[in-house]
């Protein structure tokens, strides 16, 4: 499960004491939901993944990676039909562009065949241990996830309310609570094209 922020970070943002565990399960579910939503919006996988397998038409000379930034490419494999086994494509030269595109010197295969590239890429998520050279999740994504969870938590009692006019009170109308404008701006910056 992808978690773009941690329970400790969200609780600190909300001013909740570590000893206060009353809402921990709810906050953990919110973190998971917000993290999944952010990945869907950006059309990419953020968590560092070893041996990520991404399929593409074998006649393509470039593939835009879903899990980046790229660390290493392990191999490229081909197959002609769904029931066939994958076979290694040897002696294939490629270049990495912008840390997220693998461009081949020639198409890995013929039209009608499928190829897949096996690689390691993505970010270390908050709280994960890493080795030198592995990149942590950018701070703006961490902050965006934290703020979105905090906003949801603080407004959870008003979700779905369109109008409220208590007798003798003030008329209130809540718009649908979606992604915060600042969060949307951060996601646009990190979206896979």
Give 39-77 pLDDT, tens digit per residue. 999 999 999 999 999 999 999 999 999 999 999 999 999
Both structure tokens of 119: 């690689």
- Residue given tokens 């649908």 in the structure block: 176
Give mean pLDDT, residues 129-144.
95
pLDDT at 134: 95
pLDDT at 145: 98
**Average per-residue pLDDT for the chain:** 92
Is residue 163 scored above 90 in pLDDT?
A: no
Is residue 193 scored above 80 in pLDDT?
A: no
Quick count: other Cβ atoms within 10 Å of Cβ 32? Answer: 15
pLDDT at 159: 63
Confidence of residue 164 (pLDDT cuts 50, 70, 90): low
* Interval 102-130: pLDDT, tens: 999 999 999 999 999 999 999 999 999 99
Lowest mean per-residue pLDDT among 3-7, 120-124, 141-145, 167-171: 167-171
pLDDT at 173: 55
Quick count: other Cβ atoms within 10 Å of Cβ 67? Answer: 22
Is residue 161 scored above 60 in pLDDT?
A: no
Q: How far apart are CA 97 and CA 61, in angstroms?
A: 13
Element (H, E) at 52: strand 49-57
Confidence of residue 27 (pLDDT cuts 50, 70, 90): very high
């Amino acid at each position: 499960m992808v978690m773009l922020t941690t329970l400790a970070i969200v609780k600190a943002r909300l001013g909740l004491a570590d000893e206060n565990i009353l809402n921990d399960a709810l906050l953990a579910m919110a973190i998971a939901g917000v993290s999944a939503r952010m990945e869907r919006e950006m059309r990419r996988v953020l968590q560092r993944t070893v041996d990520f397998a991404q399929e593409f038409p074998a006649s393509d000379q470039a593939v835009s990676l879903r899990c980046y930034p790229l660390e290493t490419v392990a191999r490229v494999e081909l197959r002609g039909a769904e029931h066939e086994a994958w076979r290694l494509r040897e002696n294939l030269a490629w270049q990495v562009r912008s840390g997220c595109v693998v461009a081949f010197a020639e198409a890995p295969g013929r039209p009608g065949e499928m190829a897949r590239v096996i690689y390691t890429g993505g970010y270390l998520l908050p709280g994960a241990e890493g080795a030198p050279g592995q990149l942590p999740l950018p701070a703006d994504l961490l902050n965006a996830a934290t703020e979105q969870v905090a906003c949801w938590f603080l407004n959870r009692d008003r979700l779905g309310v369109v109008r409220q006019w208590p007798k003798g009170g003030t008329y209130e109308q809540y718009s649908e609570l979606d992604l915060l404008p600042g969060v949307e701006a951060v996601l646009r910056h990190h979206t896979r094209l």
